[in-house]
Amino acid sequence: MDKYQKVAVHAYIKSDDGKFLVTKRSPINDFLPNFFDIPGGTVEFGEDPKEALKREIFEETGLEVKIERPIYIYSEVQKEERHQIWIIYECEFKGGEIKLNPEEHNEYKWVDSKEAQKLPKIIFLEELLKYFNELQSK
């Protein structure tokens, strides 16, 4: 079987009150339906990661945000032939109305880290929350 690598970018979109945006994957989604994640997706071949993130955020939420800096990278080899890399960028919410793409997500919430811990979530979001907890305990 051919081995391949996939790079995805996701947005930690923070609000003024310290919460961040999570979206619930649609029940018709092929990958982890009904799990929470943060907006983002795959970087296409030749695409700049920040441009990919802007595109994905807009496709999934209708929002335009200020992309600040990468804050976390998570890497995982899956089934010995797929290497997945997630780059999480800190983003600033600039306002506007969230308009979810129902084929991808059917719910959104603004949550703090404690609230996010209680949600069923995909692996890189779980790892990001662990990282935040480690930073706070130092």
Q: What is the pLDDT of residues 57-115, one digit of tens each?
A: 999 999 989 999 999 999 999 888 899 999 999 999 888 899 999 989 999 999 998 99
Compute the Cα dihedral for 112, 10, 80, 132 and give only its sign: negative
Round to whole Å and give the CA distance between 37 and 117: 12
Query: What pLDDT digit, counting tens, does each position of 20-41 carry?
Result: 999 999 999 888 899 999 999 9
Secondary structure element (H or E) that encloses residue 137, with its range: helix 123-137
Instruction: Write the CB contacts of 99 (distance below 8 Å, at least 6 apart in sequence).
Output: 61, 62
Kindly report the three-state secondary structure assignment for every residue of 34-49: CCEECCEEECCCCCCH
User: Does position 138 have pLDDT exceeding 70, yes or no?
Assistant: no
Which residue has 């947005």 as its token pair? Answer: 11
Q: Where are the domains of the chain?
A: 4-137
Residue 73 and residue 7 in contact, taking contact as beta carbons nearer than 8 Å: no
What does the chain come to in residues?
138
Query: How far apart, in whole angstroms, are the C-alpha atoms of residue 131 and residue 134?
Result: 5
CATH architecture of structural domain 4-137: Alpha-Beta Complex (3.90)
Q: How confident is the model at residue 12 (pLDDT cuts 50, 70, 90)?
A: very high
Whether this model's pTM surpasses 0.85:
yes
